[in-house]
Amino acid sequence: MNKQQAELLNGIALAYIGDAIYEVFVREYLLDKGLTKPAMLQKNATKFVSAKAQAKIISAMDEVDFLTEYELTYFKRGRNAHSKTTAKNTDVVTYRISTGFEAVVGILHLTQQKERLQEFWNFCLKTIEADLV
């Protein structure tokens, strides 16, 4: 997929790939930290991948104007997208913010912005790492 095609995707499609990419970042990180027991992996992964965690990261990013205008466009596209799925363990607003978060990861991945995606991940780590067991 080229950049132009990626930029035309809807927010749900961007969030779909962004969720998978972010999950790989989290899983690799946890394994690198030496976690191998399924219960501990799941407990710590949730601290990164839950809608509440992603909303917390976006809030922290907002406080320091971390996202570029380009990224904000895709965050809003994801946040405002009408999804057929519903939030399981959180309110609708938090769920929509997390969809926007995942859309940003998706657009950065699909447009091959590897350095910026790494900066994004480093920000996520800095924000969540203190909560890890």
Tokens representing 12 are 């749900």
What are the b/e assignments for 48-64, b being 16+ CB within 10 Å? bbbbbbbbbbbeebeee
- End-to-end Cα, the chain, rounded Å: 39
Residue 131: active-site member: no
In angstroms, the CA 60 to CA 52 distance is 12
Which member of 19, 62, 65, 131 is catalytic?
19
- The three-state secondary structure class of 33 is coil
Catalytic residue list: 19
